[in-house]
Amino acid sequence: MRILAVDYGDQRTGIAVSDATGSIAGEAFVIRQWDPQALAEEIARVCASRGVERVVLGNPLNMDGSAGPRSERSRDFGRLLAQMLDVEVVMWDERRTTVEAHDILTANNRHGKKRRDTVDAVAATLILESYLGSLRR
């Protein structure tokens, strides 16, 4: 089963897609789109073109597990995706993924524009890897 992970953002949204078996993260990229409807349409095109069967949307909960404004925005976007797609949309706890993505990029000497262009894709990959790991357990 091919799974797509989404790190939803205001200007850039990270996307990561698993391999066909749903075992490992494959490609990762960023969609630059601020309009939720247009973004959902682009994600729907990506899902159709790659044969995605499930979407995992990062849910940025607060460190204490409560839902704040960013979490509510993600949930709203998740409902929009669910209306547009013929696949299951799963909300997934993404606490610290952006921090971890920045740490990974720092360790690999990625700074400035290179970092901005990749941090959301790395965060989406971390969301996907976390979700795939939970399926193996």
Given the candidates 3.40.50.300, 3.30.1490.100, 3.20.20.150, 3.30.420.140, the CATH classification of the domain at 2-136 is 3.30.420.140
Domain ranges of the chain: 2-136
The predicted-structure confidence for 85-100, as pLDDT tens digits, reads as follows: 999 999 999 877 777 7
Give the model's pLDDT for residue 28: 96
Whole-number mean pLDDT of the chain? 91
Report, in this order, helix, strand and coil percent for the chain, each rounded to 5.
Answer: 50, 25, 25
Q: Which residue shows structure tokens 């209306």?
A: 83
Query: Residue range 11-29: average pLDDT?
Result: 95
Give the model's pLDDT for residue 89: 98
The predicted-structure confidence for 38-97, as pLDDT tens digits, reads as follows: 999 999 999 999 999 999 999 999 888 899 999 999 999 999 999 999 999 999 998 777
The closest of 101, 130, 103 to 118, measured between CA atoms, is: 101
Give the model's pLDDT for residue 104: 80
Tell me the CA distances in angstroms from 9 to 71, 77, 84, 118, one per residue in order.
11, 10, 19, 13
Angle (CA) 51-45-54 rounded to 5° is 45
